[in-house]
Amino acid sequence: MTDHSLPQGMIRAGHTTGTHEGYMPGFGNDFETEALPGALPQGQNSPQKCEYGLYAEQLSGTAFTAPRGQNERTWCYRIRPSVKHTGRFTKIDVPYWKSAPNIDPDVISLGQYRWDPVPHTEAAQTWITGMRTITTAGDVNTQIGMASHIYLVTQSMQDEYFYSADSELLVVPQEGRLRFCTELGVIDLEPKEIAILPRGLVYRVEVLEGPARGFVCENYGQKFDLPGRGPIGANCLANPRDFKCPVAAFEDRDAKSRVVIKWCGQFHETFIDHSPLDVVAWHGNYCAYKYDLRTYSPVGAILFDHPDPSIFTVLTAPSGQEGTANIDFVLFRERWMVAEHTFRPPWYHKNIMSEMMGNIYGIYDAKPKGFVPGGMSLHNMMLPHGPDRAAFEKASNEPMVPVLQDNTMQFMFETRFPQHLTAFAANEAPLQDDYIDCWDSIEKKFDGKPGVK
């Protein structure tokens, strides 16, 4: 007879780890979790009959034959199979959520652009109706490129669910708190955290504290991954253990419900008579997760000069070309500036990649004014940009002592594809007409005579 008790004095870990109740740590792990004891089959995926009368179903996030290191799938044990969570589809209009290609002949995307925070609307908005696309890039039908959005959410989805077949969503809150009740568990999200919602995962978004505003990067392409660290080694930047995946949670609720699906850039609705969030247990590596940006350990120059901003990459979504990302998610957060005899802010440059930035809080060192929390800026493909005059003069004359850049957090969605402004971004959003003027007062210092000026 087997003795299942532990040796005296030995204590076994609980179901979840200490301060992160409800989440499991690790990036890309193969997780297993069950909300009811014994619901998860052991030793096989597809038993002839599942415990509790559950249905086994696989959710494939990559092609069956993707290389092992990229292959992602999750086995779900659910009250009803997903075929019961959709019916006939009707197309619906979600006018402010655009997909690439979305090139408006009346909009000029060539330019350096900056926006003040997009204000909330008088009408209540949900996760679906409150999405405002700012730019699109690539092509959703060929699964390359991305879109950047602002979300303005004041109302919880009630008996309403959503999934995007087009994309995974990277969510960057700036104000308010949201709850994502997903098929695989519950993620609560607040500013200074991000969440990844994988392609095809069904969820409902509730407002825990409103109004809620934030940024979304919609990734049409290959999934976000951690960047290679190269000579940096095995630690720093974003560490895998700081990514948190929710434990299984389900609801067995009968209510007329609407499921909205984004598919090839178009929106569809279908009606069912129960909640689709009915996964009692699951195991696999295709899952939603969140990450606390305060755990990001920045690495930079500790003697002189300024590395490329790629040193601050949190997540990267590869394209077909090695080292050239479909999207890099880059974080500019609190850090010490210590470089000697160095112009410390980001230098002037022109980039084949296109850069959409957002401000979560604080002051950005290259633009002390005008780029405010909740605001965005776009420096499109091969368009020059860099510090304004005030930032240049300050950085050129400041004493070379260590400086703590405190209370600051901005990010960048950087893509290899040019970003096209939507009509909303060009005409309705609070675009700063005078942004281009921020470089006007930069003076010519050259007078033909040697010596620093």
Q: Which is nearer to Fe ion, 57 or 355 (CB)?
A: 355
| Interface residue list for Fe ion (CB under 5 A) | 355
User: Cβ 310 to Fe ion, closest distance in Å?
Assistant: 11
Instruction: Kindly state the DSSP code that residue 120 receives in the 8-state scheme.
Output: P
- Provide the annotated binding site: 349, 355, 364, 385
User: Cβ 171 to Fe ion, closest distance in Å?
Assistant: 23
User: Cβ 90 to Fe ion, closest distance in Å?
Assistant: 43
Q: Give me the sign of the Cα torsion angle 384, 390, 391, 393.
A: positive
Give the C-alpha distances (Å, rounded to integers) separating 111 from 289, 354, 418. 35, 11, 11
Question: Which position's Cβ is nearest Fe ion?
Answer: 355
Strands 257-263 and 160-164: parallel
The verdict on whether 306 is a catalytic residue reads yes
Q: Which is nearer to Fe ion, 280 or 395 (CB)?
A: 395
Instruction: Show the tokens assigned to 125.
Output: 């908005």
Catalytic residue among 20, 274, 283, 306: 306
State the Cα–Cα distance between residues 419 and 217, nearest whole angstrom.
12
Q: Which is nearer to Fe ion, 355 or 365 (CB)?
A: 355
Q: Which is nearer to Fe ion, 242 or 355 (CB)?
A: 355
User: Cβ 357 to Fe ion, closest distance in Å?
Assistant: 8
Instruction: Show the tokens assigned to 439.
Output: 């470089």
Place of tokens 């004041």: 154
- Provide the annotated binding site for homogentisate: 364, 385
State the Cα–Cα distance between residues 241 and 24, nearest whole angstrom.
9
Q: Which is nearer to Fe ion, 78 or 385 (CB)?
A: 385
User: Cβ 442 to Fe ion, closest distance in Å?
Assistant: 16
Instruction: Show the tokens assigned to 342.
Output: 């160095």
Q: Which residues pair with 237 in a beta bridge?
A: 297
Q: Are 240 and 26 in contact (CB under 8 A)?
A: yes
User: Cβ 378 to Fe ion, closest distance in Å?
Assistant: 11
Instruction: Show the tokens assigned to 169.
Output: 């969503």
The helices-and-strands tally (H runs, E runs) of the chain is 2, 24
Q: DSSP string covering 172-187, please?
A: EEEEEEEEEEETTEEE
Place of tokens 């301060």: 19
State the Cα–Cα distance between residues 243 and 290, nearest whole angstrom.
6
Give the C-alpha distances (Å, rounded to integers) separating 398 from 28, 343, 401, 451. 44, 9, 8, 18
**Rounded to an integer, what is the distance from CA 266 to the centroid of its chain?**
21
> What's the CA angle centered on 364, arms 306 and 177, to 5 degrees?
125
Q: Which is nearer to Fe ion, 57 or 365 (CB)?
A: 365
- Which positions are annotated as active-site residues? 306
